[in-house]
Amino acid sequence: MRIAFIYPAIEFDNRYHKDSLPIGLLYLTAVVENIYGAKVDIFDSRHNQPLPDLSDINLYDVVGFTSMSMQISHALRLARKIREAGFSGKIVFGGPHASVASDHLKSQSFVDAIFIGEAEDTFLKYLQYLEGKPHQLQRVWIRDSKKEWIFHSGEDFIKDLDKLPFPAREKYGDLPSRIRFINMTTTRGCPFRCNYCQPSKQILFGKYVRRRSVSNIMSEIEDAIKRFSINSFSIDDDTFTFDKKTVLELCEKLKLLKLSWSCQSRSDIDRETLEKMRDSGCQMLFVGVESGSQRILDLMNKSNTVQKNEEFIKICNEVGIQTWCNMMVGYPGETREDMEHSLQFVHRTNPSRVCVSQVTPFPGTDLWKSHHDDIIQRGWDDVARHIRKPKFKSMAKYQKLIKYFMILMSKDFDQSLNIELVNSSPIASLFNRYFPFLLSYQRVFNFLTKKQLEYYSLFRKALDSVRTGNIKKGLNQLEDLRIHFPSKTEILGNLGWIYLTTGNPHKAIESYKCFLDIEPDNPEVHFLIAKAFLEIGQIQQARAELIETIRLSPNHKPANEAIKALEGRVK
Ligand code: B12
Ligand code: SF4
């Protein structure tokens, strides 16, 4: 038996999380090769290997795709291509999308089987079935000889996770050794019922938490040290920190290894455990705070409180563990006041990183079902978190507000203001970082004129207004300053950027054009104007600006990618 497993691209960004290997496929590979004796090849679109060689495709008996919902369009295109190349074996799907949206896949004529949830056991049974051996199919949809779909039900999840072989990371050649990092999972299953997530997790891995033993986890880590010389790892599962005893036991063992590590976590860990985690090398916790409004947390069925989240981040700050705080904006019924609570939460607690997503209804979740008529149906690619389009009809009119708050809350806001701005104006790009030094130099050397000093303070105040959520005030302050200092590119660049990112592309174009009157050959600004033109659908102008960007900066990657995408659209 020969099997090809395929990890499809995430449409908008093929490089996305390249170093995070698809553990699900690697577990399946280990089981299929070690236990069943089949041979597996893995093709990962993020690593420029989207497909096996189509001229040899019939060397494989089964081609299996894994897929999250935002990968499914790409996956289906690849699968169709394989069938059209004359593949006569089985094309099968597994992973989150297949598990929660099997109807979508059943409608595709080239799909032969759809696996629901955890599949190490069920996939083996399928291989036995294909080879005519005794089998007991479970949790899989299969087309019968009359092309009718038949569901083989079953509720059994793997009882003892320690029995699984370690994921076959060696399939990625020297990658793990080059990055000296692995991602891993230690538990499966989640008893909570957050409504934007469940019951899909329970379909994947069940309601009850199953954990690997500490010695089994340590063996995997020690094996990775031996084989790949890793110096860091991440624990990706949803429920690792649920059991204090296991966490403490593992920390005790990890202390000796001097690795750095991170994990996902809810906010109910106490200080003592956090200290032990820090001492064992834990550097970062990914925590799903989601909202600073208790009303919204309750609507999401988070079974958690704003206060608990706040205390948690505070303790992490004190203990010295960085926090990556995941927030969401745009829950149906969320008001400006709720969003302000979230913004204030972020300012109050000061997590190390804030990653803000727009609330997105995933298929099969309680949120999806309860708001079905309110959901704006789009292609599956639009489920990606970077796609900021209205997701619910009832929230569409607040889209600008949602975008505002997403930008304001994001910890990258300062950076994006500065980095994406203009690379030619040193004061603009370094302004926030160096302004305090500027003032202390001024006190000693008195090198700025009174007018310059006044200008810098007002500019700083305007940016502060924007940063702390008062966008309108900040924009007015910048527009006022612009009247007095019309040739300051940092004002025009900031105005352009704020207008662009808060849903006012026309004003952005106007500010950037004034910028170009002063500095006509700035490729970054031409690129940003192109972005603004794209937002208002003026493709030809956008194209012209992209061409200008590339003329001024031939290796400008985003501009080259954007023009390619535009050409694709024209064709
Ligand atoms: C790590 C992780 C990531 C990582 C890496 C993923 C990777 N390289 O595979 C990264 C950071 C890239 C990521 C990103 C995102 N993720 Co994510 N992620 C996870 C997480 C926490 C763990 C995945 C994992 O390793 N599981 C462990 C392995 C063993 O399970 P598995 O991969 O599902 O595989 C098993 C089965 O599904 C099945 N199977 C899988 N593939 C196949 C293929 C075949 C042929 C067969 C037969 C069986 C099979 O068998 C496997 C073994 O049992 C899951 C949650 C979870 N607990 O699974 C979410 C999850 C997969 N992510 C999810 C989401 C929504 C996202 C994001 C959109 C989040 C966001 N808001 O940004 C982004 C997507 C990218 C984007 N920005 O658009 C959702 C997917 C929902 C959906 N309907 O698609 C999940 C399920 C979490 C959730 N909220 O419910 N994610
Ligand atoms: S969001 Fe996390 S805690 Fe909530 S149900 Fe999903 S996996 Fe469980």
Domain assignment present for residue 165? The answer is: no
Q: Tell me, what CATH number does 333's domain have?
A: 3.20.20.70
Question: Residue 74: nearest ligand to its CA?
Answer: 1
Domain count, the chain: 4
Domain assignment present for residue 162? The answer is: no
Q: How far is the CA of 27 from the centre of ligand 2 (A)?
A: 22
Q: Cβ(385)–Cβ(360) under 8 Å? A: yes
Cβ of 238 closer than 6 Å to ligand 2, yes or no, is yes
**220 and 112: one domain?**
no
What pLDDT score does 417 carry? 38
CA distances from 552 to 381, 520, 524, 545 (A): 32, 10, 9, 11
Query: Residue 464 and residue 462: Cα distance in Å, rounded?
Result: 5
**424 and 285: one domain?**
no
CA 246 from centroid of its chain's CA atoms:
28
Domain assignment present for residue 89? The answer is: yes
**89 and 143: one domain?**
yes
Q: In testing the pocket of ligand 1, which one of 67, 115, 236, 285 has its CB within 8 Å of the most ligand atoms? A: 236
Lowest mean pLDDT, pick from 183-197, 237-251, 305-319, 352-366:
352-366
**287 and 398: one domain?**
yes
Domain assignment present for residue 161? The answer is: no
Domain assignment present for residue 99? The answer is: yes
Domain assignment present for residue 216? The answer is: yes
**404 and 427: one domain?**
no
Domain assignment present for residue 167? The answer is: no
Q: Tell me, what CATH number does 470's domain have?
A: 1.25.40.10
**409 and 430: one domain?**
no
**546 and 430: one domain?**
no
Q: How far is the CA of 563 from the centre of ligand 1 (A)?
A: 31
Reported residue count of the chain is 571
| CB burial string 164-199: b at 16+ within 10 A, e below | bebbbbbbbeebbbebebbbbbbbbbbebbbbbbbe
**424 and 512: one domain?**
no
**258 and 380: one domain?**
yes
Who has greater pLDDT, 207 or 451?
Answer: 207
Note the pLDDT tens digit of each residue in 495-545. 888 888 777 889 999 999 999 998 888 888 999 999 999 888 889 999 999
Which of 428, 448, 468 is at the close of a domain?
448
Q: Tell me, what CATH number does 86's domain have?
A: 3.40.50.280
What pLDDT score does 423 carry? 31
Ligand 1: which residue has its CA nearest to atom 46? 94
* Residue range of the domain that includes 312: 173-415
- Say if residue 438's pLDDT is above 80: no
Q: In testing the pocket of ligand 2, which one of 100, 190, 269 has its CB within 8 Å of the most ligand atoms? A: 190
Which residue, 413, 416, 400, is CA-closest to 346? 413
Ligand 1: which residue has its CA nearest to atom 32? 24
What pLDDT score does 356 carry? 87
Q: In testing the pocket of ligand 1, which one of 44, 68, 82 has its CB within 8 Å of the most ligand atoms? A: 68
Whether the bond between 199 and the residue before it is cis, its omega within 30 degrees of 0, is yes
Who has greater pLDDT, 238 or 464?
Answer: 238
Note the pLDDT tens digit of each residue in 141-165. 999 888 999 999 987 899 999 999 9
Question: Residue 301: nearest ligand to its CA?
Answer: 2
What pLDDT score does 441 carry? 56
pLDDT band at 166 (very low <50, low <70, confident <90, very high): very high
Ligand 2: which residue has its CA nearest to atom 2? 238
**61 and 120: one domain?**
yes
Who has greater pLDDT, 92 or 377?
Answer: 92
**23 and 103: one domain?**
yes
**286 and 424: one domain?**
no
Domain assignment present for residue 467? The answer is: yes
